[in-house]
Structure 1
Amino acid sequence: MRAVGIILAGGNSHKMRELTHRRAIAAMPVAGSYRAIDFALSNMSNSHIQKVAVLTQYNARSLNEHLNSSKWWDFGRKQGGLYVFTPTITADNGYWYRGTADAIYQNLEFLRKCHEPYVIISSGDAVYKMDYNKALEYHIRKKSDVTVVCKRLDVDEDASRFGTLKMNEDMRIEEFEEKPMLATSNMISAGIYVIRRRLLIDLIEHCAEEERHDFVTDILIRYKNLKRMYAYEIKDYWNNISTVEAYYRTNMDFLKPEVRKYFFREYPEVYSKVSDLPPAKYNPGAIVKNSLVGSGSIINGTVENSVLFKKTFVGNNCVIKNSVILNDVYLGDNTYIENCIVESRDTIRANTRHVGTNGVKVVVEKNERYAL
């Protein structure tokens, strides 16, 4: 592959509410056994990109722990590999990353030492499968300076939380608006970009000289009329998890057979760090319908249309409907959970009830184990 990869995984979204108080968005559990960043990393590996840098910052402990061995994504190699960069205090710089462009600028030496002519930049908070080679071939064929991978949303979906694009017949970008108050286009940026390495270095250096720090606002939008920017549309499944509702909906999508088949059965595969846990156990009387149950879980009650992550314990006479239960949650007897996301390592006392009546409810309890 003639490109080096950069995954931007240092951001925080207040729209995730309590879910990002403990972890970065890129470390959010997805589909029972994955983390959000696994999808971008797997795409890099499956596209034969041999050198990938992950830029982390906010609540990065669990994310860095997840990335502490690169072998899971086939990056354990002598040439290239996986590089994890966190903000570093130096004699010349005492700042955290002040934006996506500043994050790249503070690690610009990594790009200078690379020999690959192109760079694939991706966010760590999207769930999708993609062959970056096709986007790179498109980029070269169009003689583009910057190629923005885009996705067309359904008419009823809210495009205002993304960057919206408008292109001409040749797919050249004519308008680019970041998170508009009122979206006039349903074509959005997927947060994936293809750019020549030397051009990226020049743009990032110029951006830093002017004390500008955001890649989208201060580079893409600012230079859209000065550089040749094209859009590359992806037609397959893509979803961003940067809000509670989007995160919940993405996990619920994995209960659809066609989505499970696309991610779990069709080539290429999605890789993740493997935990040494026993298979899920279903005790007598347990009823499970249309649900994903992670390894190490023990089920005694009823689970319907839900995603349960690793090491979940469901007590006697529990009922879980249309919910996402994160890792290592203990649900006491006679608990009722519906339309909720239950935070990791929580203990839900026996005989309690949590129902999301106006949207999705995030349940956070103290990390204590109560007697039944």
Structure 2
Amino acid sequence: MINNYMGILNLNEDETNIINLTKCRPLAAIPIGSRYRIIDFALSNMVNSGLSNIGIFTQSKSRSLVDHVGSGRPWDLDRRPNGLFVFNFGITSTSLNDTEMLWNTTEYLYRSKEKNVILSSSYMVGNIDYMAAIKYHEEKKQDITVIYKNINTGSNDFLNCDVLNIDENSKVLSVGKNTGAYNHLNISMEMFIMKKELLISLIRKCIQSGSYKTLKDTIHKNINNLSVTAYEFKGYLQCVNSIGAYYKTNMDMLALKTTKELFFSNGPIYTKIKDEPPTKYSSESKVTNSIIADGCIIEGIVENSIISRGVFVHSGAEIKNSIILQNCEIKENSKLFNVIIDKNVIVNEDKQLNGDNEFPLVIEKRALF
């Protein structure tokens, strides 16, 4: 039964290729889709599948993440018993890996009444029905079920993600990395279903041996000692592990079919409510194929772009194929093409910023141009 499962969101994610947007926040807290955060998808997937006990494990730069999730109310997780638990290890002087974080909070695992665990990262953006995956896991009666996506665009997408090598019975034989050499791949979504007892055993093994860097690494290196099966997810998926992937994921949301699937296919994606006023469009504004959040003022041209809350686009300004995050001001006659602008940036009059489809220009938080 689904009420016998708890969720763990492990935010020990590689931020190397998206560092421009993670200097002041964890990857999970990056704004996406005009009014969401990346973690909203992982949290909503678990809640929509009936999980009511979810732990978030994070450490550095967690202020914005903690502020966003709060008590878990938007996801109906402000409850007793269970609910949302945030374990923030940011006060430590040295960085911890995920097994050390989990080991330091094993009391949470022991005290949780659920006997099974869904372990997930946050940067896999999709809308997944965990109930179907749990049914598959219980029918197979394996130690671990890992969820994967079969793709045919591996040379361009999901670079540096884990790749599953599986046999005809969906048994996982080994795990590698996507180096971009092949198109047809089985991409691990870094979502694992297992018994809580096994999870604690793997954490203990990792800590005692000292030979594994992460829990994921522990599972991968012990494939031959465990029975690991793979469950295929067939919906829309992107891994936001680089600036290019972040840009592509946002641009994909401009397609109505993708938006409907991503935000509604297996339940809605929830986020923190800000109660901003409706966006104001002047008579001279022109907006085409864009997503614009509430609380904005649009006087200029916006085309194929994602505009977050509280953005002011002045008269004569032109924004195309760009992502503008919260509380930015784009002044008169500025031109922005293929640009990602972080929060609280002011672009002065008559400025022109140009990026590229493959390599968008990133303007960091609170910059002034």
CA contact (8 A) 2:129 2:266 kept: no
Deviation at 1:248, TM superposition (A): 0.4
| Corresponding residue number in structure 2 for 1:76 | 78
Instruction: State how far apart, in whole Å, the 2-side matches of 1:223 and 1:185 are.
Output: 25
Matches within 5 A, 1:191-340: 191-211=190-210, 212-217=212-217, 219-340=218-339
TM-score (norm 2): 0.94
| Corresponding residue number in structure 2 for 1:112 | 110
TM-score (norm 1): 0.93
Deviation at 1:354, TM superposition (A): 0.4
SS of the equivalent of 1:225 reads: helix
| Corresponding residue number in structure 1 for 2:42 | 40
Deviation at 1:286, TM superposition (A): 0.1
- Which one of 110, 127, 130 corresponds to residue 128 of structure 2? 130
Which amino acid is the alignment partner of residue 29 of structure 2? A
| Corresponding residue number in structure 2 for 1:13 | 15
Matches within 5 A, 1:155-174: 155=153, 156-174=155-173
CA contact (8 A) 2:31 2:37 kept: yes
| Corresponding residue number in structure 2 for 1:361 | 361
CA contact (8 A) 1:163 1:176 kept: yes
Which amino acid is the alignment partner of residue 59 of structure 2? Q
Query: Relative to structure 2, which stretch is displaced further, 10-19 or 164-173?
Result: 10-19
Instruction: State how far apart, in whole Å, the 2-side matches of 1:88 and 1:117 are.
Output: 29
Deviation at 1:151, TM superposition (A): 0.8
| Corresponding residue number in structure 2 for 1:151 | 149
Instruction: State how far apart, in whole Å, the 2-side matches of 1:138 and 1:313 are.
Output: 49
SS of the equivalent of 1:176 reads: strand
Which amino acid is the alignment partner of residue 345 of structure 1? N
Which amino acid is the alignment partner of residue 359 of structure 2? G
Instruction: State how far apart, in whole Å, the 1-side matches of 2:244 and 2:90 are.
Output: 34
Instruction: State how far apart, in whole Å, the 1-side matches of 2:95 and 2:182 are.
Output: 29
SS of the equivalent of 1:151 reads: strand
CA contact (8 A) 1:347 1:365 kept: no
Deviation at 1:3, TM superposition (A): 0.6
Deviation at 1:265, TM superposition (A): 4.7
Deviations 1:267-302 (A, max 9, x none): 511101100200111011000000000110100100
Deviation at 1:249, TM superposition (A): 0.4
Instruction: State how far apart, in whole Å, the 2-side matches of 1:150 and 1:260 are.
Output: 21
| Corresponding residue number in structure 1 for 2:53 | 51
Instruction: State how far apart, in whole Å, the 2-side matches of 1:70 and 1:146 are.
Output: 28
CA contact (8 A) 2:343 2:366 kept: no
Deviation at 1:216, TM superposition (A): 1.9
- Which one of 40, 57, 63 corresponds to residue 61 of structure 1? 63
Which amino acid is the alignment partner of residue 138 of structure 2? I
SS of the equivalent of 1:203 reads: helix
**Number of matched residues?**
364
CA contact (8 A) 1:160 1:182 kept: no
Deviation at 1:97, TM superposition (A): 4.8
Deviation at 1:11, TM superposition (A): 3.4
CA contact (8 A) 2:306 2:324 kept: yes
Deviations 1:293-316 (A, max 9, x none): 011010010000000011011011
Instruction: State how far apart, in whole Å, the 2-side matches of 1:265 and 1:201 are.
Output: 34
Give unpaired runs (5+ residues) of structure 1.
none
CA contact (8 A) 1:319 1:335 kept: yes
Deviation at 1:120, TM superposition (A): 0.2
Give unpaired runs (5+ residues) of structure 2.
none
2:144 matches 1:142: no
CA contact (8 A) 1:98 1:213 kept: no
Instruction: State how far apart, in whole Å, the 1-side matches of 2:362 and 2:169 are.
Output: 44
| Corresponding residue number in structure 2 for 1:30 | 32
Deviation at 1:264, TM superposition (A): 4.0
